[in-house]
Amino acid sequence: MYQFTYHRVDSARKAINLAEKNEDAKFLAGGMTLLPTMKQRLASPSAIIDLNPAADKLAGIEQRGRAIVIGAMTRHYDVANSKIVQDAIPALADLAGMIGDPAVRHRGTIGGSVANNDPAADYPSAVLALNATVFTNKRKIAADDFFKGLFETALEPGELITKIVFPIPSKAAYMKFPNPASRYAMVGVFVARRGKEVRVAVTGAGSNGVFRASKFEAALTAKFHVKSLEGVNASADGLNSDIHADAAYRAHLIGVMCRRAVNKANGK
Amino acid sequence: MPKVSMTVNGKAVSANVDARTLLVQFLREDLRLTGTHVGCDTSQCGCCVVHVDGKAIKSCTVLALTLEGANVTTIEGLAQDGKLHPMQEAFRENHALQCGFCTPGMIMTSVDIVNRKGNTLDEQTIRHELEGNLCRCTGYHNIVKAVAAGAEAMAK
């Protein structure tokens, strides 16, 4: 790890003030991706702004009207075990319970995962499929405008996610094919239906990060049933190929995971 | 160098550390608590699992400075009055270790599983919950048996 200056902050406001003064600073939330990246010297921030002392102010889960509001510093473990999330959006609680392993879930945060936008992370698919809104210290950003590519988001330097608001769907499910070693998604598919709208988001597969599978969405909008997906296949164009799976295999997995997710969402 | 203070195995400790110091380095190198192991250094193997404020975490993936004021328990903190913790005893009894390198992390994770899931654990639950801990010699069969036995013993 390269050297950095360490700052401990107990409020979002202090974090943002410091970030404005330190151009290369990074916010540290759970650190489950940032610290391994720094250890490998793939990241070398000049300063670390540690949000953990502010965790209580930036964490929390509540239902507001027909939406679930989750604070940025809420740990995966707390989302997975939240009665509120389990009742309103069980697919989201399921997803949180599938991230990494128990020790990782005790530290990793939803805000950190979404801000990092790892192409194989789980949460971006939920944000996109559930049409969530990302709130920052400056503005609110619709899911469709938030994810910009590999590790790229609409966040500007020094901009901090404060909470994420998930509208409650009528039906939703997440299915993933995890890499057996890292537990990252080789392919993860989140399907959600709200009113007449069906959204299908795919993580782990795209070489440009999470994306919506429009062919699957169109087929499921006609009828939200696994039979609607007969003959619907994902294209391998633009998908990742690596030692774990080539693009054609990932394309196949998108179809398999999507069908399983639709069945699960329909209670089958 | 910045200062950090925390409670480790019930004892107040503090030290000036390089900001880059990971919790596992702080435990092993500053406090000489070498029961916590570094296996992979990439948060996959679980040999470095300790409890922070009652929850299992991987100590190779957290800065010591982050844990200002935290309450940390390591494998050295489990045995009381020279008597092994029931989970340690269950690992011994069930021959759940061969080289022993992964054992401290396995035991800390197992105690955490019991804290979260209770004293009656089926095999599927144990195997699933141990996903973040790797053993490279005996395999998992005896470890799974030990966790089930240790969980029951912890109820007594």
| Token pair in block for residue A51 | 């949000």
SS3 label, residue A116: helix
Testing the interface with A: which of B5, B42, B48, B66 to mutate, by most A Cβ within 10 A? B66
Q: What chain A residue is nearest to B70 in terms of C-alpha separation?
A: A53
Kindly report, residue by residue over B74-100, the tens digit of the pLDDT: 999 999 999 999 999 999 999 999 999
Q: What percent of chain A has pLDDT over 90?
A: 97
Complex-level ipTM: 0.95
Interface of B to A at Cβ within 8 Å reads 2, 18-20, 22, 41-44, 46, 49, 52, 55-58, 61-63, 65-66, 68, 109, 112-113, 116, 129, 131-133
Domain with CATH 3.30.390.50 in chain A: 171-265
Q: Give the span between the Cα atoms of B38 and A191, in whole angstroms.
A: 39
Whether A69 shows a pLDDT value over 90: the answer reads: yes
What CATH number does the domain located at B86-154 have? 1.10.150.120
Q: Under a CB-based contact definition with an 8 Å cutoff, are residues A30 and A107 in contact?
A: yes
pLDDT (average), residues A35-59: 95
Q: What is the mean pLDDT of chain A?
A: 96
pLDDT tens across A103-132, in order? Answer: 999 999 999 999 999 999 999 999 999 999
Q: Name the residue facing A101 among B42, B66, B131 (closest C-beta).
A: B131
How many angstroms separate the CA atoms of B84 and B92, rounded? 10
pLDDT the model gives residue A183: 81
Q: What is the pLDDT of residue B47?
A: 97
User: Could you give phi then psi for residue A153, rounded to 5 degrees?
Assistant: -135, 175
Q: What is the mean pLDDT of residues A235-263?
A: 96
Domain A171-265 in CATH: superfamily?
A: CO dehydrogenase flavoprotein, C-terminal domain (3.30.390.50)
The 10s digit of each residue's pLDDT in B105-138 is 999 999 999 999 999 999 999 999 999 999 998 7
CATH fold of B3-77 reads: Ubiquitin-like (UB roll) (3.10.20)
pLDDT given for residue A181 in this prediction: 77
- The mean pLDDT of A26-55, rounded to a whole number, is 96
Look at residues A128, A126, A136, A124 and name the one whose alpha carbon lies nearest to residue A85. A126
Q: What is the DSSP string of B9-61?
A: TTEEEEEE--TT-BHHHIIIIIS--TTS--SSSSSSS-TTEEEETTEEEEGGG
Are B52 and B67 in contact by the 8 Å Cβ rule? The answer is yes
β-strand partners of A113: none
The CA–CA distances, whole Å, from A47 to A18, A72, A112, A195, A264 equal 9, 20, 17, 45, 44
CA distance A262 to B25: 46
pLDDT for residue B156: 86
- Range list of H helices, B81-140: 86-93, 103-117, 123-129
Taking the C-alpha atoms of residue B123 and residue A43, their distance in angstroms, rounded to an integer, is: 40
Mean pLDDT of the region A55-81: 97
Mean pLDDT (whole number) for B4-11: 98
A117-171: per-residue pLDDT in tens?
Answer: 999 999 999 999 999 999 999 999 999 999 999 999 999 999 999 999 999 999 9
Q: Give the ranges where A47-98 is alpha helix by DSSP (H).
A: 55-58, 76-80, 83-88, 90-97
- Distance between CA atoms of A237 and A94, rounded to whole angstroms? 29
Nearest in space to A122 (alpha carbons), one of A74, A33, A183, A170: A183
Listed by start position, the domains of chain B span 3-77, 86-154
The H or E element containing residue A133 is strand A133-136
Burial class of residue B136 in the structure, from the number of CB atoms within 10 Å of its CB (0-12 exposed, 13-18 middle, 19+ buried):
exposed
What CATH code would you report for A1-55?
A: 3.30.43.10
Name the residue with tokens 């998930």.
A166
Q: Confirm or reject contact between A47 and chain B (CB < 8 A).
A: no
In tens, the pLDDT along B23-61 reads 999 999 999 999 999 999 888 999 999 999 999 999 999
Cβ neighbours of residue A30 under 8 Å, at least 6 residues apart?
A75, A107, A108, A109, A112
Give the contacts of A200 (CB within 8 A, at least 6 positions apart). Answer: A129, A189, A190, A191, A192, A212, A213, A216, A217, A220, A258
Q: Amino acid identity of B16? A: N
State the DSSP H helix or E strand holding residue A47, giving kind and residue range, or none if neither. Answer: strand A47-50
CA B101 to the chain's CA centroid: 12
Does the pLDDT at position B139 exceed 90?
no
Pairing outcome for strands A140-142 and B11-16: unpaired
DSSP structure string for B104-120: HHHHHHHHHHHHHH-S-
Residues 7-46 of A with CB under 8 A from B: 8, 28, 31-32, 35-36, 39
CA-based diameter of chain A, in Å?
56
C-beta of residue A139 within 8 angstroms of C-beta of residue A155: no
For chain A, residues classed under CATH 3.30.43.10 are 1-55
| Contact in structure between A181 and A193 (CB atoms under 8 Å) | no
